[in-house]
Amino acid sequence: MEFCDDCGSMMKTEGDEWICGSCGFTKIRDEAKEAAMVTTEGQTESEIVDISDAEDQGLPTTNAACPECDNDRAHWYMQQIRAADESETRFFICTECEHKWREDDH
């Protein structure tokens, strides 16, 4: 991938040149530099590992009363579920029964 020296936009290749679609700036392609670039074509997929039954969920824990089993510890995470100008919602997962609830649930 190459970026325009003039405007910073991403450039495309056409023949032996890089051409900026925004401002029209062109420069000659450098084969040695392009050979060193990492492309998605050269990458391999890694194996998908199922961690759904893992003991440690990798999430931080806090004091929170589970509405299902009254346990006082829960993992938590934040997630944007509304518009970008709205605040994130905090979700909890009980460390005992794995019940999931969100902060504004009553």
Q: How far apart are CA 103 and CA 87, in angstroms?
A: 12
Exposed (0-12), middle (13-18) or buried (19+): which is 66, by Cβ within 10 Å?
buried
Residue 45 banded pLDDT, cuts 50, 70, 90: low
Residue 99 banded pLDDT, cuts 50, 70, 90: very high
Q: Is 4 annotated as a binding residue?
A: yes
What's the chain's average pLDDT?
81
Identify the pLDDT of residue 3. 86
Q: Is 54 annotated as a binding residue?
A: no
Q: Is 58 annotated as a binding residue?
A: no
Residue 106 banded pLDDT, cuts 50, 70, 90: very low
SS3 of 32-95:
HHHHCCCCHHHCCCCCCCCCCCCCCCCCCEEECCCCCCCCCEEEEEEECCCCCCCCCEEEEEEC
The tens digit of pLDDT for each residue in 68-83 reads: 998 999 999 988 887 7
Cβ-proximal residues to 18 (8 Å cutoff; 6+ apart), any chain: 2, 11, 12, 26, 27, 28, 29
User: What DSSP state is assigned to residue 23?
Assistant: T
Token pair belonging to 72: 């006082």
Q: Is 66 annotated as a binding residue?
A: yes
Residue 58 banded pLDDT, cuts 50, 70, 90: confident
61-102 placed in CATH 2.20.25.10: yes
Q: How far apart are CA 24 and CA 26, in angstroms?
A: 6
Q: What does pTM read for this prediction? A: 0.44
